[in-house]
Amino acid sequence: MKGYAGKLLRVNLSNGKVATEEISEEMKRDFLGGRGFAVKLLWDEVKHVDPLSEKNKIIFSTGPLTGQALPSTGKMVIASKSPLTGGYGDGNIGTMAAIHLKRAGYDVLIVEGKSPKPCCLLIEDGNIKMTDASDLWGKSTFETEDILHGKHGKNIGILDIGPGGENQVRFAVVMSQKGRAGGRPGMGAVMGSKNLKAVVIKGTGTIPAADPNKLRELGKKGYDEIKAKDKYDWWIGQGTMQAFDWCNENSCLPTYNYREGVFEHSKGMDGEVVIKTKVDRKGCPLCNMQCGNVIEDSAGLRSELDYENVGMLGPNIGMKDLRQVALLNRMADEWGLDTISLGSCIGFLMEASEKGLIPEKVSWGDFEVAQKLIVDIGKGEGLGKLVFCGVRSASEIIGKGSHRWAMQVKGLEISAYNCHACPGMALSFGTSPIGAHHKDAWVISWEISTDRFSYNKEKVQKVIELQRIRGGFFESATVCRLPWVEVSFGLQSYPEYLEAVTGSAYRWEDFYQIGDRIYNLMRAYWIREKGTWSRQMDYPPDRWFEEPHSQGKMKGVKLDRVKYDEMLSWYYELRGWDQNGVPTKEALEKTGLKGVSKELIGRNG
């Protein structure tokens, strides 16, 4: 099949061994790329290991569309067994490294083992080197990237970690291009555990395609179509920050550790404020609808904002001032910490302090304290030690019912959407295959436009449909979903793209089948690695069921546990999983996963 570089690069940091392997035709056909390749490799190669041991592996995986001259294709997936959740973990990232990896002749990079000292992995086409990175250890991601560009030039791709990853904060991310982040469930910590400070890639080859002329024509048409969309200008102005006002209006803004869905200071940091304060726009390679809003933070330095980090470091911790939020966000990027989990951890500590469960005074909206907490978390010192492994772990340490408002699912902190009044989105978070993340299915618009308060089967079907498209296709192709989801770029373009790239004809039904296979294998991975499983793993936190909103138009609203449970049962039924959420042998074999079920026997909790 064309369109792939066709090779996997394997580097072992313990012994310096480097190998290249062919990627089989079956692998391309059955798993497409990106997330699909990653979960297959983890299933086959990473079993029952400590995620922070040298036996874990980290996978950098592109797809057939990565790097092609098509809209928003500058993406790769970074995956590993998660040190935050203990299950399957991944995240996508927009980076020149994705393009350089393919130009260097590889679809996938697997890093194994552990370097005896801090190192940087340098990939220049077929020339692979591990260089000493002692001079970079301890440096922020911004400093690291400056130094690496100084050494290797501008025309490279860099994936790096900050001190957070070095210290193995369990929600440390991988960073690139001073503000792009990927791998929420601790992919940065996995790099840190391997003493791998950075991967630098310089590829000089050509990315192959079956029909380059057709591809050029489709690319031009696609870019032009996106720019002509009705919503384009607004998107360019606000990017994902358009969601801030929208979520506040619809009572789904995460506020005071997800107690409320509306924020009394929202006007201080909504999309209009962003437009007024914006000094630049940033984005991923090959994108013509860049979403990064750069503003000057309260220290006068540049910070790249999007909705998730403003939501979590703003209303969720009671911060009122956008420039101060921007400073916290820049600190998170420099330390290489996930802003969603970070905002949730700080919110958790503020609530714990308010309830008298910890002796330290950590008040809502206290800017000085928030800054200190970021440093403490990055170092694993003081109060930072308590949330170093995320809010689930923190609630297990302090007890006293704090698990009810530790806002996570499967150990991953929930993205910036409050679901007291969004049962479909609660199910989406509950069943997200990496823990509570929004990338797989975001269903709030749809449920508000139909019947917001219902718990019907149609809503469950919608969640699965979105998981197939967003979590299955886009994460594996590997290409950004935002042209489709944010400016209504047509889904019908993607089978055409795949055909021009690979030479094989695809229908959306084929992508759905691949998506279902990937979802079954991700779920199987969790179950095998956890050793036991029950439907409780697919529940959002008790707060949403027990504590109704006290403010706004949704005052008094909370989720109904019995009805949520019914939706979850339908979800399992539609996926062919049993009532504990374990894929049945039939469902696995229907998606071509023979032999997987025997590794799951006896796992029902």
534 binds another protein (CB under 8 A): no
C-alpha to C-alpha distance for 366 and 370, rounded to whole angstroms: 6
Binding window for another protein (CB under 8 A); candidates: 149-157, 166-174, 178-186, 480-488: 480-488
End-to-end CA separation in angstroms for the chain:
42
Residue 159 three-state SS: strand
Rounded least distance, CB 531 to another protein, Å = 33
Q: Kindly state the smallest distance separating residue 157's Cβ from another protein, in Å.
A: 23
Rounded to whole angstroms, how far apart are CA atoms 325 and 321? 6
Stretch that binds another protein, among 69-77, 142-150, 163-171, 448-456 (CB under 8 A): 448-456
The least CB distance from residue 227 to another protein, in Å, is: 14
Does position 338 interact with another protein (CB under 8 A)? The reply is no
CB of 62 to another protein, least distance (A): 21
By C-alpha distance, which of 117, 91, 123, 85 is closest to 5? 123
**Which stretch in 41-49, 157-165, 447-455, 591-599 sits in contact with another protein by CB under 8 A?**
447-455
Establish if 564 lies at the interface with another protein (CB under 8 A): no
Q: Considering only 61-69, 180-188, 482-490, 539-547, which stretch makes contact with another protein by CB under 8 A?
A: 482-490
Is 444 one of the binding residues for another protein (CB under 8 A)? yes
Interface with another protein: number of residues (CB under 8 A) = 33
- Min CB(493)–another protein separation in Å: 17
Which residue among 449, 492, 509, 556 contacts another protein (CB under 8 A)? 449
Distance CA 109, CA 9 (A): 5
Binding to another protein (CB under 8 A): which residues in 264-293?
Answer: 291
Q: Confirm or reject binding of residue 234 to another protein (CB under 8 A).
A: yes
Q: Is 249 in the site for another protein (CB under 8 A)?
A: yes
Shortest Cβ 489–another protein spacing (Å): 12
Instruction: Look up residue 61 and give its two tokens.
Output: 């995986």
Token pair of 435 as six digits: 């823990």
Task: Please name every residue paired with 10 in a beta bridge, in sequence order, or none if there are none.
Answer: 19, 110
Backbone angles phi, psi at 88, to 5 degrees: -70, 130
Residue 506 is a binding residue for another protein (CB under 8 A): no
Q: In the complex, what is the shortest distance from the CB of residue 444 to another protein, in angstroms, rounded to a whole number?
A: 6
Closer to another protein at the Cβ: 421 or 500? 421
Pair of tokens at residue 32: 């497409």
Question: Counting contacts by CB under 8 A, is residue 488 touching another protein?
Answer: yes
Cα dihedral: 542, 544, 550, 554 (round 10): -160
Q: Give me the least distance between CB of 416 and another protein, in Å please.
A: 9
Interacting residues of 189 by C-beta distance below 8 A, sequence separation 6+? 52, 83, 84, 164, 165, 168, 169, 170, 171, 172
Choosing from 21, 224, 233, 560, the residue that interacts with another protein (CB under 8 A) is 233
Binding region for another protein (CB under 8 A) out of 5-13, 159-167, 233-241, 397-405: 233-241
Interface residue with another protein, options 485, 510, 548, 592 (CB under 8 A): 485
Alpha-carbon span 528 to 604, nearest angstrom: 11
Task: Verify binding: residue 312, another protein, rule CB under 8 A.
Answer: no
Residue from 308, 333, 351, 475 binding another protein (CB under 8 A): 308
Does the protein bind another protein through residue 442 (CB under 8 A)? Answer: yes
Nearest alpha-carbon partner for 357 in 320, 383, 329: 383
Contacts of residue 348, Cβ cutoff 8 Å, sequence gap at least 6: 257, 387, 391, 394, 395, 402, 405, 406, 407
Task: Please state at what angle helix 561-575 crosses helix 508-530, rounded to 10 degrees.
Answer: 110
Choices 52-60, 167-175, 441-449, 530-538 (CB under 8 A): range interacting with another protein? 441-449
* 438 touches another protein by CB under 8 A: yes
State the CB neighbour count (10 A cutoff) for residue 365. 17
Site for another protein contains 507 (CB under 8 A): no
Tell me if 446 contacts another protein by CB under 8 A.
yes
Q: Tell me which stretch binds another protein (CB under 8 A): 28-36, 159-167, 436-444, 567-575.
A: 436-444
Site for another protein contains 145 (CB under 8 A): no
Report the residue from 56, 176, 242, 395 that binds another protein according to the rule CB under 8 A.
242
Residue with smaller CB distance to another protein, 193 or 251: 251
| Neighbour count for residue 374 (Cβ, 10 Å) | 24
Say if residues 204 and 190 touch (Cβ distance below 8 Å). no
Query: If DSSP states are collapsed to H, E and C, what string results for 526-581?
Result: HHHHHCCECHHHHCCCCHHHHCCCCCCCCCCCCCCHHHHHHHHHHHHHHHCECCCC
Residue of 482, 501, 514, 521 interacting with another protein (CB under 8 A): 482
State the SS3 of 176-225: ECCCEEECCCCHHHHHHHCCEEEEEEECCCCCCCCCHHHHHHHHHHHHHH
Q: 193, 55 in Cβ contact below 8 A?
A: no
Q: Tokens at residue 178, please? A: 């001073």
Quote the CA–CA distance of 565 and 538 in Å, as a whole number.
10
Write down the least CB distance from residue 488 to another protein, Å: 6
Q: Could you say whether residue 246 binds another protein (CB under 8 A)? A: yes
289 three-state secondary structure: coil
Binders of another protein among residues 398 to 427 (CB under 8 A) are: 417
What is d(CA 474, CA 59) in angstroms, rounded to the nearest whole number? 17
Q: Does 450 engage in binding with another protein (CB under 8 A)?
A: yes
Window contacting another protein (CB under 8 A); options: 144-152, 179-187, 201-209, 302-310 = 302-310
Q: Does 368 bind another protein (CB under 8 A)?
A: no
C-beta of 421: minimal distance to another protein in Å? Answer: 11
Task: Candidates 25, 135, 224, 451: give the one binding another protein (CB under 8 A).
Answer: 451
CB atoms within 10 A of CB 2: 15
Stretch that binds another protein, among 14-22, 30-38, 157-165, 484-492 (CB under 8 A): 484-492
For the CB of residue 246, give the shortest distance to another protein in the complex, in Å: 5
- Is residue 349 within 8 Å of 406, Cβ to Cβ? no
422 Rama class: left (phi>0) / alpha (psi -120 to 50) / beta? beta
x/- letters, 156..175, toward another protein (CB under 8 A)? --------------------
Contact residues for another protein, defined by CB under 8 A:
230-231, 233-235, 240, 242-243, 245-246, 249, 291, 306-308, 417, 438-439, 442, 444-446, 448-451, 481-482, 484-486, 488, 553
